Structure 1
Amino acid sequence: MRVAVQSAPFDLGAEAARFAAAVPGAGAVVTFTGLVRDNGGALAAMEIEHYPGMTETAISAMVDEAARRWALVDALVIHRFGRLAAGEAIMMVATAATHRAAAFDAAEFLMDYLKSRAPFWKKEIGASGTEWVAARDADEAALKRW
């Protein structure tokens, strides 16, 4: 299980290939990559802040929970911080399990928890100024299924 919180961009193809090559015995690998939404062209960039150490610990706990619940062979979470332009990859989740349902469910669980519980603070920057991203009711509601 690997968690990386980094400012540098990552190569989705290389990360996915490396992950899939290292999971013998897995019957399924699921990957998801989140991009910075451009909000119809209104967003110039997003700035993401975090507390080093605390963020990795919180995400690692989420990954450990997913591994226990779905008997994962392996999992990977990469999440970026700093200034990201619209369209850039912000995060990646990869899960490997013996069966596809477990890999999909674990990936969705991790994505929902990353969206709502990972200690990141996001500020959107556009032509009309800057605004901190507030918690969304839909994101909180998504957690209830887990």
Structure 2
Amino acid sequence: MSVTPLVRVQSEDFDAQAEAARLTEGRKDVGAIVSFTGLCRDESGTLSALELEHYPGMAEAELTRIASEAIDRWPLTGLTVVHRFGKIPPGENIVLVIAASSHRRAAFEAADFLMDFLKTRAPFWKKEHLVSGDSSSWVEAKSVDDKDAERWLKSGSTD
């Protein structure tokens, strides 16, 4: 059975439990669900919000490309990727990845792969809004995120 990933980019919050239930509803072949929910941190009380910007259409296409590669690499029974944009206060959801498979290893690896490449390849830009009211600043990419993603290149391509 061919799996088509569900990919959404939205300003509204999401319900991780409802998204997971959608992947298992009426299914007897799912043996594992692995999910990752990324939340906005307050950065030790200094952050009032994180603003995420994206290019509509381009962001969805890239997320779909990354999700499709995960489906090609692992025997998944379902895959959901939801990424928010807009101004997100600390404590709120930013990103959700749910990988479903007959076996846990595939679900864990696919979710891990997706997050590594969402961090490095997804076309989102983050701006920090500070509690102090000081000017907002764009968040720089982190080399540790690139290093995390590099480990997947040994066993296949993401280009």
TM-score bucket (shorter structure): over 0.9
Identical pairs, percent: 50
Aligned with residue 135 of structure 2, among 114, 129, 138: 129
Name the SS for the 2:109 alignment partner: helix
User: What do residues 35-55 of structure 1 show as CA deviations (whole Å, max 9, x unaligned)?
Assistant: 011111110001111011100
Match of 1:20 in 2: 24
| TM-score with structure 1 setting the length | 0.96
Match of 1:86 in 2: 90
Q: Is contact 2:66-2:117 (8 Å) kept?
A: yes
Q: Is the radius of gyration larger for structure 1 or structure 2?
A: 2
- CA distance in 2 between counterparts of 1:134 and 1:20 reads 37
| TM-score with structure 2 setting the length | 0.88
Name structure 1 gaps, 5 residues minimum.
Answer: none
Match of 2:150 in 1: 144
Q: How many residues align?
A: 146
**CA RMSD, aligned part only?**
1.1
Match of 2:54 in 1: 50
- CA distance in 1 between counterparts of 2:125 and 2:27 reads 33
Q: Is contact 1:72-1:103 (8 Å) kept?
A: yes
| 1:116 CA drift (Å) | 1.0
- CA distance in 2 between counterparts of 1:33 and 1:124 reads 20
Kindly report which structure 2 residues correspond to 1:59-78, keeping only aligned pairs within 5 A, or say none: 59-78=63-82
- CA distance in 2 between counterparts of 1:15 and 1:73 reads 14
